[in-house]
Amino acid sequence: MREIALVYLDRSGGLQKFVQDCKKYNDSKQSYAVYRFIVSINPSDIAELDATLGNYILHNPIQAAQIFQSVCFVAIKTLSLIEQLQTEAQISILLKPTHLPPLPSYILSLSAFPFNYTSQRFYMSEGIAIAMGTVTKYTQGARFLCTEETCPFSEGFRYIRVHLPGATESATVRSDFVCSLCSSPLQEDMKFRVLGDKQIVEMIDAKVLNALKGCSNDKSHFRIQTLTVFLR
């Protein structure tokens, strides 16, 4: 699947954009803990190229991003795109689909039952934003070092924490991480913390408009539930 991912990036122009993004990082001469890349993908084109990879992206996007992460790391090292990059863990790939299949199973409906949305896959959702919070910061990535000076992991980029969709802030940054080699506590290197913007939006299903207009229906009663959306 890595070979197919590379072929798709080359054919879609994604590889050229990736090289340009790498050039911006390399020209900055600043060492980052995490190098973040947004990869636009067309699920239909990928499915035609390779059905297995297309299905993997649609239903296991977090694991699929790791395939593109590996491909991008090899490309960076082979072409010497970012001199400061040391480990594959420093690359963060965000897959951004251009669209999803127009099928009911890919639509997140707030009014349909049952609510069996346990998988971490892509969904489409339409609604009305009824409240928006202010834009705040969150940690996209962080570098940790072993506190034991004699440990090999007391330097370098062995411990990189990257925010994943659905994770809380404490999953990325907290004080109880320990070294897998010597079990000593890990300490964050604050100079390498990567911040991003996030905003919380309260959304409600568009069907609520019928209730607000006074439109009657066959149901004797109904319940309106909002959905909290994190924009990152």
Size of the chain in residues? 232
Mean pLDDT, range 192-217, rounded to an integer:
82
Instruction: Please check the confidence at residue 84 and state whether its pLDDT lies above 70.
Output: yes
| Cα 45 to Cα 163: distance, rounded to the nearest angstrom | 28
Condensed to tens digits (0 to 9), the pLDDT of residues 125-158 reads 888 999 999 999 999 999 999 999 999 999 999 9
Give the range among 159-163, 182-186, 204-208 with minimum mean pLDDT: 204-208
User: What topology does CATH give the domain 1-99?
Assistant: mini-chromosome maintenance (MCM) complex, chain A, domain 1 (3.30.1640)
| Cα 155 to Cα 135: distance, rounded to the nearest angstrom | 34
Half-sphere exposure of 154 (CA within 13 A, CB side): 9
Block residue for tokens 């971490």: 120
CA-based angle 112:56:141, to the nearest 5? 90
Instruction: Please check the confidence at residue 114 and state whether its pLDDT lies above 60.
Output: no
Instruction: Please check the confidence at residue 224 and state whether its pLDDT lies above 80.
Output: no
Report helix, strand or coil for 166. coil
Contacts of 116 (CB under 8 A, 6+ apart): none
Domain locations along the chain: 1-99, 137-196
Asked if 108 contacts 123 with a C-beta cutoff of 8 angstroms, the reply is: yes
pLDDT range class, residue 202, cuts 50, 70, 90: very high
Report helix, strand or coil for 169. helix
> Which pLDDT does position 214 carry in this prediction?
66
- Name the CA radius of gyration of the chain, rounded: 21
Task: Check residue 136 and report its DSSP letter.
Answer: E
Block residue for tokens 């910061």: 137
Nearest Cα to 179, choosing from 147, 226, 222? 147
> Chain-centre distance of CA 58, in angstroms?
14
DSSP string, 177-216: -B-TTT-PBEEE-GGG-EEEEEEEEEEE-TTHHHHHTT--
| Cα 153 to Cα 179: distance, rounded to the nearest angstrom | 8
pLDDT range class, residue 115, cuts 50, 70, 90: low
| Cα 66 to Cα 98: distance, rounded to the nearest angstrom | 19
